[in-house]
């Protein structure tokens, strides 16, 4: 928790203390007060800025001078580019060829250098590691690093301050950085809170890891939720998540699209990954105790895709 509190101090003036808003459709569906933690309000449109800035801010002057590299489907890449620009260092981002155009453009707009490198998180990581070795760059992992987890944990720290009566916290999971951060804070400060993870049916890597007792790698991952497609949960993140998470809810593409529409009707523009928690709650896939908070992880969605989803 000391690392989390230090991260919160480092992020002052950089990350936004995002809104916590009640969502009437969810409250009516669940019969309890339901709130959304609106991380799409962050300067890069997603929670990832918390971990990326915290990690890069702790590099030595010589490491920053060398530059940083990461591998990302989009939001972490934008966060690394944003943080590197603020801290005065070069940033290279290895992205999938199928990355949403808005996320590729976001990395470039923020001064990041985009390299396209493979369809899976594993191939992108291998490409990033190769470039890092060639050019002397420092790797900023997307989730499986203590500095990243501590940064992402500041989101849940804010939630506990904004909603002291919270009974259930619903968190999307890709590689597990945001969820591991949530589990860290809940275990230390409010262990009675029920933490529920949400992942796509087509990328159920946490479910597989919990069944096996250790991280396992999926053969493939497919979902509208492009930010939740790592083939495996992180080793570090899983070790933090496993003892704390109460349940995992699965959502399909139809449910994700429906949640994007519902949130749009309430005035929120959210990407499918960001709508995953709302999708699970709307589908009745989460057992809730008391007031529930669902983290909306991001809002970076291409216009054409968004308009198709909201009809």
Which residues are part of the catalytic machinery?
48, 297
> Using CA atoms, how far apart are residues 30 and 282, in angstroms rounded to an integer?
8
Pick from 45, 62, 50, 135: nearest CA to 94: 135
Q: What angle do CA 124, 122, 223 make, to 5 degrees?
A: 95
CA atoms within 13 A on the CB side of 304: 3
> Using CA atoms, how far apart are residues 109 and 44, in angstroms rounded to an integer?
11
């Amino acid at each position: 928790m000391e690392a989390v509190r230090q991260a919160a101090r480092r992020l002052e003036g950089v990350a936004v203390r995002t809104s916590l808003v009640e969502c009437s459709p969810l409250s009516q569906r669940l019969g309890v007060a339901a709130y959304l933690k609106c991380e799409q309000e962050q300067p890069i449109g997603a929670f990832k800025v918390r971990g990326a800035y915290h990690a890069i801010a702790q590099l030595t002057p010589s490491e920053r001078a060398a530059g940083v590299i990461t591998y990302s489907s989009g939001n972490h890449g934008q966060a690394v580019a944003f943080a590197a620009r603020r801290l005065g260092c070069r940033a290279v981002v290895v992205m999938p060829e199928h990355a949403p155009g808005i996320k590729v453009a976001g990395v470039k707009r923020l001064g990041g250098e985009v390299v396209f490198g493979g369809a899976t998180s594993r191939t992108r990581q291998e490409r990033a590691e190769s470039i890092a070795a060639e050019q002397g760059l420092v790797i900023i992992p997307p989730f499986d690093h203590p500095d990243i987890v501590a940064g992402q944990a500041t989101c849940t720290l804010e939630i506990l301050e904004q909603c002291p009566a919270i009974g259930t916290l619903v968190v999307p999971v890709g590689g597990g950085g945001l969820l591991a951060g949530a589990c860290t804070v809940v275990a230390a400060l409010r262990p009675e809170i029920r933490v529920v993870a949400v992942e796509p049916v087509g990328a159920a890597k946490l479910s597989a890891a919990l069944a096996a007792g250790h991280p396992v790698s999926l053969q493939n991952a497919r979902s509208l939720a492009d930010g939740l497609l790592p083939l495996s949960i992180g080793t570090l993140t899983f070790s933090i998540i496993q003892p704390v998470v109460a349940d995992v809810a699965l959502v399909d593409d139809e449910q994700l699209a429906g949640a994007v529409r519902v949130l749009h009707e309430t005035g929120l523009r959210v990407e499918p990954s960001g709508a995953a928690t709302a999708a699970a709650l709307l589908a009745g896939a989460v057992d809730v105790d008391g007031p529930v908070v669902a983290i909306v992880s991001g809002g970076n969605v291409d216009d054409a895709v968004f308009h198709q989803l909201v009809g």
